[in-house]
Structure 1
Amino acid sequence: MAQANNVRCPVDRDETTTTKQCVPRRARRGIFLLIALVVIAVSTMAAYSFTDLMLAYDESTILSGRKTQADMLVESGTELARLMLAQSPTGREEMGGVDNNPAMFQAINVVPDLDPQRRGNVTVIAPSIDAMGEFSGIRYGLQNESARLNLNVLTVIEENYTVGDEALQAAADLGLADTDQAVVSDNIARELLMSLPNMTEDVADSILDWLDEDDEQRDFGAEYDYYNALPTPYGPKNGPLDSVEELLLVRGVTPELLFGADTNRNGIIDPIEQTYITTGDQSTASLGWSAFLTVYSREGNKTADGADRVDVNAEDLEQLQADLTDVLGNEDWASFIVAYRVAGQSGATASTGGDSDAAEAVSQASSGQAWSSSVLSTLDLSEGKVEVSQLLDLVGATVVVGEGNDQAVYQSPFANEPLSMATYMPYLMGLLTSKDYDSMPGRINLNECPAELIYGLPILEEETALALVEARGEQSESENRRFETWPLVEGILTLEQMRQLLPLVTAGGDVFRAQVVGYFEGANQSARVEVVIDATTINPDIVYWRSLSHLGRGFDVGTLGVRGEDGMQTLSIAE
């Protein structure tokens, strides 16, 4: 029976009977096991592939989530900066200030976790400037945009800031200026641009041609004809720039000149970037022009407490006297300013080529009487005939009361003398204004700008500019350092020099720039943006936002800062 099961007997299709010869059949007992093994192997590989794919998707989801978290960390850091800038300057100082405040801006933990890979922080960082005005390292805070040269005010400066030949000659006669400056006084905007490293006259003039409203080509510039002849023609903007990067459209401006060797745009020259420097200049030149230029700088017309300054050119003189007495707390000062509006003469007019009556009035100042608030009652306050062009007009000024034999000359209580200035200048510059504006663009911050911009200021000789740079590098707690007139108070500049520079310089500024980095301490995910915030309004506005995440984190975690498991900040190596 068993043997019969192993025999196969073929059937003859033509016969109804079976052949007697049968063919033996081979045994196939393991075929199902082999099939089972193949099925198991295929299933295993399919399960492995599916599991591996799911793990990849899971990791991708985690990475995507952390990238989103990093973006939100940046949002948190930006809002932190806005919160700080929403305070008055006095309020900011009480919170540690915006210049270098690690407690407020370094390694602020937003996503707490015991696992460093999931612990998310945000750091607000900006380039630092050393005592000699050179870029050097980083700090944790915001950069005052007024520390840069505002391109959009250059043509305005050209039109409105004029140094007449007579004034220049008078200043030169007094040893206050170089007579060669009379030659460049018509090209002041070009001279400001020429202070930038590696700038040339043809590029400077091309930039100004791009900005000005006319189509007249400057000596070394380029106008419509040049741009229209390019393979891809376009025309000059003939108006203000929207961003500094727009300079790349100007003839002669290259990415190397604009951005320098700072390929990751972190504001410093990293060791790997140092190898790209081919100019042979110092590291400041290697950062490129973008580190020196802006189109956003503005300053508000507020006091340190956030109140409106008193406009000394107000029409209602009686109300002006009351306002001045209230904020200054000194009747002699307040009454003299009002009297100046009626019958005053600036102390600087005679030395800069004023009329003969003005010169005579100023010459009598040394022998004039001391001012008293009681003199104001002899003047008609119905109309202010004299306008204060700038607050320094009041320094060393005179007021002439009466006519003929009854004429009397009174000296300004704001004497042209450094010791006296140290007392009254914070009141003049901090509480008063001669212009009725909400905000003003473009002045350069003397305290925070790179040294190159100071050397490019007009009227100053190189030795004077160097003395100014060295003086600002010295530590000083003087209240006068809060105002742009501190070089005058400290005897570095004369009154006439300070008057010439005042339209160009400031010690304030209410627009700030920073890089905000969101990162995880133990993971590579990060986000980085460069942001510019305008604090001239009640709610600070973001006027510029650019993602730099594609250029990497920009800083190592040790520089950005880490936190231990107990949440206490671990100081970074940068400190």
Structure 2
Amino acid sequence: MSSQNKSLRKSDESLGHQCQNSFTKPVGRNIRRQGFFLVLVLIVIAVATMAVYSFTDLMIAADETAYLTGDLVQARATVDSGIEAVRLVLAQPASMREDAGGVFNNPSMFQGVPITDGSQGNPTSNFTVLAPGLTEMGTLGGIRYGLQNESARLNINALTVLEENSDAINMLTGLSGGSVDAGGILGDATASEDSDLSTENIAVTLLMTLPGMDVTIADAILDWLDEDTEPRENGCEDEYYTSLATPYAAANGPVQTVEELLLVRGVTPQLLFGADSNRNGVLDPDEQQRYAASIETPGVLGWASYLTVHGAEANKTMDGEFRVNINGEDLEVLYEELMTAIGDEVFASFIVAYRISGESSLAASVASGASAEALAAQGIEAQDADNANSESEGTVLPWSVEALDDFDLTGGAAVEFNQVLDLIDAKVSLERNGETFTYTSPLIGEPTLLAEFLPFLMDQLTTQDGDVLPGRINLNECPAELLMGVPLVDVDTMTAILEARSQDVGGTTSDRNHETWPLTEGLVTVDQMRALLPLVTARGDVFRAQVIGFDSGSGLAARGEAIIDASTPNPRVVHYRDLTHLGRGFDLSVLGGNIVVPNNN
């Protein structure tokens, strides 16, 4: 029995081990599977959590981008609002603008102008209008809050017109006591005999005033502008441009933008734009370091700061009324218009009489000079010629209103004015009962009388029948480099003009609203002023506005440059350039407005 019991016990133990193994092994495998799935779930949760966080960050970034885009749209809209505000200002007559402080430098009108005040969750939007300033020496430097008159720049498209009229301008110079070579009213402003520059070409002379310009580039620019295909001595035409790796033809006509000059042989971005990388018209500290230059460095702001393709003057008075054309055909109508405009019967009657048988002092100089030469060829002394001229004048009398009764206004005009300045020291002749009477002008070339009457006459009268006149160089605002390049007065005279101008930069006083102020202030002679008149002005009705729209809180800004033609009753934007991609251009402290300091707590 004992042996059987032992056998049974062993079999039971064996069966127990088998049962234990059969039950314990599956349980172990189930435990390991449950742990694996738990880890897998944890991994999935972690990945999902990271995805949620990434998606959240992406949505936050997208939300911020949407807000920033909206703020940028708001900034650009603020720039547009600033341009519209400038148009509204320019729609006013010049006299009203001057009464409001003018547009040359007027911080109260152009600095930190609020568009929105930040209420109701809106951004605090402002706009500021800035322009390059002028130093005491009259050169470009600093900033001002206002507009830049395009007539303060040299109009590229007017160069060919000046070139065509160089002979006439030089004739005025010669008659004024100078010559195109040296001396007279040209003086030191002309080139030396050893220079390659021909002083007979006013267009080339003006181009040569630009820093870094040479005669080969000047001729190339004029070849690009003129209509012919014949290259100048130092220029080039299609033969050169079509031989380039990327061939193109010369414009042979007006350019549309200053940047088009980059197509001209020899013109480089460095020459055209200088160190002004962000095109804000100012040499910033980082630009000074990058280019190792200062504002005194010649050409540091590039030729683009001196040139334009726009420029025009409305043929209107300061009050916005059209001037009277003293070359009108109907003399009776002209007399009535003069009485309405100037209200002075003496001047009105003399102007009408001049149109019948008048002679300017300049024309008299030409005639007497020619007569003297002709008589000298016949062996007659100049003194005898002067006596003959005096006898031909007959009885010389000052002009009176009653003298107009002896003139027939219905017979039409025989004489035209070249300039309003022709009135100065002019004469009117009349044959009556076989006797010659010569009447002298009520406008005498004496500084005191000129200062009293000439500004008013220049404002009210014109010799051209057109609503808009081509732009000339603005005496009051153009950089000294351009003004010194006007080749019709000597350096000392132009320096005196610049010194006088520095006391009233921008010509904000009423005495300097007209280009004849150097004459009325005794800085130039009548003959010098005659020669300058075709080239200079004190007005100009096309303006450049650099407008910065900005959020005072975030500092986000947009910047644009608009050129606005105010020569018409409804000023219009003739050119616009978005400069936002070049940065704000100026510090918020310069832009002004209600600067909001962010709360970082």
Same fold (TM over 0.5): yes
Distance 1:274 1:365 in 2: 67
Match for residue 286 of structure 1 among 300, 307, 310:
300
Distance 1:308 1:400 in 2: 31
Distance 1:366 1:481 in 2: 39
Distance 2:50 2:475 in 1: 70
* Corresponding position: 1:74 with 2:88: no
Between 530-539 and 364-373, the greater mean CA deviation after superposition: 364-373
Match of 1:378 in 2: 406
Larger Cα Rg: Structure 1 or Structure 2?
Answer: 2
Distance 1:40 1:215 in 2: 78
Identity of aligned residues (%): 48
Q: SS at the partner of 1:335?
A: helix
**1:76 Cα offset (Å):** 0.5
Match for residue 534 of structure 2 among 503, 512, 526:
503
* Corresponding position: 1:171 with 2:197: no
Match of 1:551 in 2: 582
Q: SS at the partner of 1:368?
A: strand
Matched residue type, 2:498: V
* 8 Å CA contact retained: 2:288, 2:294: no
Alignment length (residue pairs): 549
* Corresponding position: 1:120 with 2:125: yes
Between 37-46 and 66-75, the greater mean CA deviation after superposition: 37-46
**CA offset digits 1:407-455 (Å, max 9, x no partner):** 1111101111110001111221101100001111230000100001111
**CA offset digits 1:281-311 (Å, max 9, x no partner):** 8245200100000010111001111111001
Q: SS at the partner of 1:407?
A: strand
**CA offset digits 1:326-346 (Å, max 9, x no partner):** 211211011011111011000
CA gap of 1:234–1:31, structure 2 versus 1, over 3 A, is closer
Between 475-484 and 330-339, the greater mean CA deviation after superposition: 475-484
Match for residue 389 of structure 1 among 409, 413, 418:
418
Distance 2:392 2:232 in 1: 46
Distance 1:363 1:504 in 2: 38
Distance 2:482 2:390 in 1: 34
**1:110 Cα offset (Å):** 1.3
TM-score for the superposition, normalised by structure 2: 0.85
**CA offset digits 1:141-185 (Å, max 9, x no partner):** 110000000010111111134235685265139943339959845
Match of 1:22 in 2: 22
Q: SS at the partner of 1:172?
A: coil
* 8 Å CA contact retained: 1:171, 1:352: no
* Corresponding position: 1:515 with 2:546: yes
* 8 Å CA contact retained: 2:393, 2:437: no
Match of 1:345 in 2: 359
Between 526-535 and 130-139, the greater mean CA deviation after superposition: 130-139
Distance 1:361 1:298 in 2: 42
Distance 1:302 1:170 in 2: 29
**1:478 Cα offset (Å):** 5.5
* Corresponding position: 1:484 with 2:490: no
Which structure 2 residues correspond to residues 92-111 of structure 1 after superposition, within 5 A?
A: 92-111=97-116
* 8 Å CA contact retained: 2:116, 2:122: no
* Corresponding position: 1:149 with 2:129: no
* Corresponding position: 1:190 with 2:218: no
Between 29-38 and 417-426, the greater mean CA deviation after superposition: 29-38
**1:92 Cα offset (Å):** 1.5
**1:479 Cα offset (Å):** 3.0
Which structure 2 residues correspond to residues 109-258 of structure 1 after superposition, within 5 A?
A: 109-113=114-118, 118-161=123-166, 162-164=168-170, 168=174, 171-172=177-178, 175-178=184-187, 184-258=198-272
**1:65 Cα offset (Å):** 0.6
Match of 1:5 in 2: none
CA gap of 1:85–1:519, structure 2 versus 1, over 3 A, is same
CA gap of 1:478–1:127, structure 2 versus 1, over 3 A, is closer
Between 39-48 and 247-256, the greater mean CA deviation after superposition: 39-48
Match of 2:397 in 1: 369
| RMSD (Å), alpha carbons | 2.8
Match of 1:14 in 2: none
Q: SS at the partner of 1:512?
A: strand
Between 475-484 and 27-36, the greater mean CA deviation after superposition: 27-36
Distance 2:282 2:371 in 1: 55
Match of 1:452 in 2: 481
Q: SS at the partner of 2:213?
A: coil
Which structure 2 residues correspond to residues 531-542 of structure 1 after superposition, within 5 A?
A: 531-542=562-573
Q: Which has the higher helix share?
A: 2
Match of 1:415 in 2: 444
Match of 2:464 in 1: 435
Contiguous gaps of at least 5 residues in structure 2: 1-17, 373-384
* 8 Å CA contact retained: 1:117, 1:522: no
Distance 2:353 2:73 in 1: 63
